[in-house]
Amino acid sequence: MTYLASPTRYDSMKYNRTGNSGLLLPAISLGLWHNFGGVDTFENGRAMLRRAFDLGITHFDLANNYGPPPGSAEEMFGTILKTDFKPYRDELVISSKAGYHMWDGPYGEWGSKKYLIASLDQSLKRMGLDYVDIFYSHRPDPNTPLEETMRALDQIVRQGKALYVGISSYNAEQTAKAIEILEELGTPMLIHQPSYSMLNRWIEEDGLQDVLEENKIGSIAFCPLQQGLLTNKYLGGVPKDSRAAKSTGALGEDQVTEEVITKIQKLNRIAEDRQQSLAQMALAWVLRDGKVTSALIGASRVSQIEDNVAALNNLSFTTEELTQIDQILNS
């Protein structure tokens, strides 16, 4: 059945300016880290992508290694681009990354120019694209000079393979240096993608958020729901079918302690008073002060996307609510 995007797709989504650039990103973006790979049900992934776009989510975030198997999420998204999204390509912001292991030998991961450019070429082929809108260095490489990694990003933009570039999971010191190098090269950094949630506030403690704000760089927070921990799934403990029980992804059962469960139960009571789900409040909290451009969600079914986007109905917090949340998180 031919897909026609909803004519009301832009009516309720909130769009935020990305740093000092001209690019607007939706406050909620969709990541294809899990549930869009070759082992997953294609029609479920297709339904989620269609519904996301119908709700005004214009930004779809990928990486070379997303799947499993690695590369299959980009292949799946490439199929959707061809069959469903082709008329809407210029309404989409598509991002990809390279940094983690993709192929055997010394050139298949990290941050060398050899790897980054070869990997992006492969990603473009998998998705059937001439360019991505944003390309990231997925993680800092301790053994490759930062100058080489940033020069590769600069070259990628000059070759027309990406419109903008960013970095992911770099700390404050590394980020400040990367910003400086890219500025000198004439390809300013657009955005940083760090992990950030109520239960993971390292970007505040490290000073990264201050560096981004001072340099007018955008930010998109991944794992804002802490791998599903900040949802109603874990309020009664660790379900047998949960990601924590299966130890997949970054969330292990050892992280879901009684202390953490007590905290999320208390946070849930505040969310209920706000007439929000815990997930909705967690997303609103990440976006609370305008320092985060977009919250990057994952999903396994359409209803989760709908619930997450509904967080935008209430993004404001009272001083009392923020104080209570801080007290719970610091207890």
**pLDDT tens digits for 211-233?**
999 999 999 999 999 999 999 99
Return the residue matching tokens 């770099």.
170
Cis check for the bond before 87: say yes or no (omega within 30 of 0): no
Give the residue-averaged pLDDT of 177-192: 98
In the chain, what are the domain boundaries?
15-231+287-307
pLDDT at residue 17, as a whole number = 98
Q: Is the confidence at residue 247, as pLDDT, over 70?
A: no
Give the residue-averaged pLDDT of 175-196: 98
pLDDT at residue 255, as a whole number = 73
pLDDT at residue 313, as a whole number = 97
Q: What is the pLDDT of residues 136-172, one digit of tens each?
A: 999 999 999 999 999 999 999 999 999 999 999 999 9
pLDDT at residue 245, as a whole number = 54
Q: Is the confidence at residue 248, as pLDDT, over 70?
A: no
Give the residue-averaged pLDDT of 15-20: 98
pLDDT at residue 112, as a whole number = 98
Q: How confident is the model at residue 251 (pLDDT cuts 50, 70, 90)?
A: low
Q: Are 265 and 235 in contact (CB under 8 A)?
A: yes
Please state the separation of Cα 318 from the chain's center in Å: 27
* CATH class of this structure's domain 15-231+287-307: alpha beta
pLDDT at residue 138, as a whole number = 98
Q: How confident is the model at residue 295 (pLDDT cuts 50, 70, 90)?
A: very high
* pLDDT top residue among 309 and 256: 309
Give the residue-averaged pLDDT of 114-133: 98
Q: Is the confidence at residue 322, as pLDDT, over 90?
A: yes
Helices and strands in the chain: count of H runs, count of E runs = 12, 10
Angle between helices 258-273 and 319-330 (to 10 degrees): 170
Task: State how far the Cα of 21 lies from the Cα of 226, in Å rounded to an integer.
Answer: 29
pLDDT at residue 220, as a whole number = 98
Q: How confident is the model at residue 253 (pLDDT cuts 50, 70, 90)?
A: low
Q: Are 121 and 113 in contact (CB under 8 A)?
A: no
Q: Whats the size of the chain, residue-wise?
A: 331
Give the residue-averaged pLDDT of 31-56: 98
Phi-psi region of 282 (alpha: psi -120 to 50; beta: other; left: phi over 0): alpha
Q: Hey, what are 13's tokens? A: 């989504």
Cα Dmax for the chain:
54
